[in-house]
A = this chain, B = another copy of it.
Amino acid sequence: VEGFNFSTELSVRFAETDAQGVAHNANYLIWFEVARIEYLARYAGGYKSIQESGFEALTTESHVRYLAPIHFDDRLTIHTRCHDVRGARFRYEYVVERAGRIVADGWTQHAVVDRETMRPTRVPGFFAEAVASAERPGAG
């Protein structure tokens, strides 16, 4: 998908389906998180390195568009990018692709807080730099 340098793959688990025979809508947020965490692992030393630096990243908003039903065992590619890093905030965007077709998309908004005080704090420099480098056109 154009504009995305990173993607991760996963297969839909049987436990993620519901009695409509499709993946339940809440699981998309879990897949977004899986993708986000792999992104952090690839570019920014991992979620644990953020925590160990004394920060915590909170999810403050989420949005999903369910464009086509997703079924058990479907192989999904989650295209992921981070952008709009400013102050204490950053945003991830996701496009979910199955066999070349976009079946969902969405975004999550995040805030960095100090682990001790849980107060908003500027996105740490190492993270902002890692994102800038990862999101350069052509990187990935």
Contacts and interface: CB of A to CB of B under 8 A. Distances in A.
A132 interface: no
Contacts of A34: 13
Q: How many copies does the complex hold?
A: 4
Contacts of A20: 56, 58
Interface range on chain A: under 10, 10 to 19, 20 to 34, or 35 or more? 35 or more
Contacts of A19: 14, 17-19, 21-22, 71-72
A-B complex: 9 closest residue pairs judged by Cβ atoms: A17-B19, A26-B29, A25-B59, A15-B30, A26-B26, A19-B21, A62-B64, A63-B63, A17-B18
23 contacts: A13-B33, A13-B34, A14-B37, A14-B47, A15-B18, A15-B30, A17-B19, A19-B21, A19-B72, A20-B56, A20-B58, A25-B29, A25-B33, A25-B59, A26-B26, A26-B27, A26-B33, A29-B29, A37-B73, A48-B73, A60-B65, A61-B63, A61-B66
